[in-house]
Structure 1
């Protein structure tokens, strides 16, 4: 009887410690979540504040009783923000689409096909990751300029249609697919391209979605290359547009209108993550094998 009572006490004590640990963990996570989300809240709050009321605030207010959408109207009328968004959307979709085709074919070749010098070629390919980005940008700039592709979408897109890191990541996932599937497919007379489309891509879909989302974010936030290769406003992306908005649009002092423009620019990426969050988490946690 005494042993039973002691066991119950020990179990209750362990339960209390576990509950206390969970409370501490969730408290810390909640605090961290508030810290991470606060800049987004402040950006959204500032974007709906009246210009005069914002400038009259001696102490920043954490809420407003008179929100306005005038700043969002100014974001589209004072500068060609819609054109910047359209250019960025076109650049992002085309670049990501071409890159996914290129890296998928390259990763499949390195993972499944046999050809002379494959290992040496892949090693040399990986060594490109050691080259500083600044040197690559300079080389690309000279090449695109010599090809007379400045201020064109082709000049913006071509240097971004491949990635050594993404090829390596996808190759590692392709190699996790059992070799028996490939041999069975070849026995049935399946071509390599059909095997890639019908077997490899569906199995590695979470990783491919993750790569695609990361590339979309990279293209949407691209700044240095568009600034170098374009000086024609007809080809400006949102990264160029933010600077244009600050210098020639609203003026440096109209912070609410600038925040409205930033909200509009940030919204597509936020929606993209919300739509594909489960696929992203699955691609990161599971790797390339389902089941």
Structure 2
């Protein structure tokens, strides 16, 4: 028995060491990118480059925000991300409706919602563009935000989780005189925190990294996002690697920070969703 425990402990140590080494190797490109964002272009272009900057500088970031349009790109990205969380709330409402309300054709409508998950987003871009163009929403932030407010995957995830919530809790609240809005916002949403954490990080990543749709719908540079701006930066300053590293760092670091802060809730949410 002791030998089995000892062998299991040794196996865990070996697996831990392997994962640690592999994780460090995976992180090296990010470390190189972040360190290079504080270097000059001449230092990056050295024949024998160093990992860390010898003379750290913020000139690259200053150029991004004061000479280029990254402040505009950041504002647009924050607006799109903020409205994506409005869409998260709408997904939760739809999932709750499919989970706890009975209405004619509910199952058929839900199957239609699921069927949209099988259609690649690239297929619907042209029809959606034509519809927005008919109502005059092309080249606007509204046109960028509107198509992504509600998604089938979010509705499905909320519906699956909220189906596990006891109906007795909802009925007891109704007997106490609680309104449907009160039940949803004060009872259902707090219970759904795990799935909200999962969808929240996915929503943030989707809004922060939005690239294809803003590039298609917006003709004016004042409506571009950070991802589109980074692509423009690579085209306009292809030889300035320090500037490109600064733009990439500004794109990646917020996502890493948010994931590190919320990873416990994210993993718990996936575990709860799987167990349910």
* TM superposition score normalised by structure 1: 0.88
User: Which of 260, 271, 275 is matched with 1:285 structurally?
Assistant: 271
The answer to whether the aligner puts 1:166 opposite 2:158 as a matched pair is no
Map 1:24-39 onto structure 2 (within 5 A).
24-39=14-29
What is the aligned partner in structure 2 of residue 217 from structure 1? 205
Query: Which sits farther off after the overlay, 136-145 or 158-167?
Result: 136-145
User: Which of 150, 160, 175 is matched with 1:187 structurally?
Assistant: 175
Q: Is the 8 A contact 1:177 1:289 kept in 2?
A: no
Q: Is the 8 A contact 1:203 1:288 kept in 2?
A: no
User: Which of 96, 100, 108 is matched with 2:96 structurally?
Assistant: 108
What is the aligned partner in structure 2 of residue 156 from structure 1? 144
For the residues of structure 2 that align with 1:181 and 1:288, how far apart are their CA atoms? 22
Aligned length: 276
SS in structure 1 at match of 2:39: coil
For the residues of structure 2 that align with 1:289 and 1:203, how far apart are their CA atoms? 15
Deviation at 1:15, TM superposition (A): 4.2
Q: Deviations over 1:211-268 (max 9, x none)?
A: 12211100111111011011201111101101222223xx211101110121122232
What is the aligned partner in structure 2 of residue 81 from structure 1? 70
Q: Deviations over 1:62-107 (max 9, x none)?
A: 334333222222222331111111111011102322x123112211
Deviation at 1:289, TM superposition (A): 9.5
What is the aligned partner in structure 1 of residue 47 from structure 2? 58
What is the aligned partner in structure 1 of residue 38 from structure 2? 48
Mark the CA change 1:120 to 1:256 in structure 2 (over 3 Å): closer, same or farther.
same
Larger Rg over CA atoms: 1
Query: Which sits farther off after the overlay, 188-197 or 280-289?
Result: 280-289
Q: Is the 8 A contact 1:91 1:156 kept in 2?
A: yes
| Runs of 5+ consecutive residues of structure 1 not aligned to the other structure | 1-9
For the residues of structure 1 that align with 2:58 and 2:108, how far apart are their CA atoms? 59
For the residues of structure 1 that align with 2:242 and 2:78, how far apart are their CA atoms? 24
For the residues of structure 2 that align with 1:22 and 1:15, how far apart are their CA atoms? 11
Mark the CA change 1:289 to 1:182 in structure 2 (over 3 Å): closer, same or farther.
farther
Q: Is the 8 A contact 2:38 2:60 kept in 1?
A: yes
SS in structure 1 at match of 2:138: coil
| Runs of 5+ consecutive residues of structure 2 not aligned to the other structure | none
User: Which of 80, 94, 97 is matched with 1:91 structurally?
Assistant: 80
For the residues of structure 1 that align with 2:72 and 2:190, how far apart are their CA atoms? 36
